[in-house]
Amino acid sequence: MRPTRTDCLATALLVLATLAGVALWPQLPAEVAIHFSASGTPDNYVPKAVGVLMLPAIMLGTLVVLRLSLHFDPPSDPMTGPVVTVATMGFLGAIHLLVLGWNAGYPVPLDGLIVGSLVWAALITAYVIRTEGFSWT
């Protein structure tokens, strides 16, 4: 499997998310919050190195799984795979930036994160249903 433009863009998003963690490293506390309750209160902490590298590692794993699944079971529309891949990598990168920003002391509004995540999921699901021509009948 040769790298595609989608792979390059997705990898660039992964690298940018990783570099953001490196850039914010001096501002981050020794223990960073990685999960928040619905009210925006942190409820799970990990060491700084884990907090900086965990989501980029998840992004890499997600990219590999998407790439393999699209190779072995390609969608009927050739744009579905690239759109889902880039949208997913962008979403994960954005979550990483928001969490790092919050931990670095920036005023990040986390109260809309759940709604934003649900809207993203609904939009990407609707896109796939529309482009792949799924029928409920």
Q: Where are the domains of the chain?
A: 5-132
Helices 80-103 and 5-24, packing angle to 10 deg: 0
Question: How far is 14 from 8, CA to CA, in rounded Å?
Answer: 10
Q: Is the pLDDT of residue 137 over 70?
A: no
- pTM attached to this predicted model: 0.90
Mean pLDDT lowest among 41-50, 67-76, 104-113: 104-113
What local confidence, expressed as pLDDT, does residue 111 receive? 75
Taking the CB of residue 126, how many other CB atoms lie within 10 A of it?
A: 10
Q: Is the pLDDT of residue 1 over 70?
A: no
Token output for 87: 């949208």
Look at residues 75, 65, 85, 73 and name the one whose alpha carbon lies nearest to residue 132: 75
Q: How many CA atoms lie within 13 A of 67 on its CB side?
A: 18
Token output for 15: 């690298």
What local confidence, expressed as pLDDT, does residue 72 receive? 94
pLDDT (mean) for 36-44: 85
Instruction: Collect all residues with Cβ–Cβ distance below 8 Å to 109 and sequence separation of at least 6.
Output: none
At residue 24 the predicted structure's pLDDT band, cuts being 50, 70 and 90, is very high
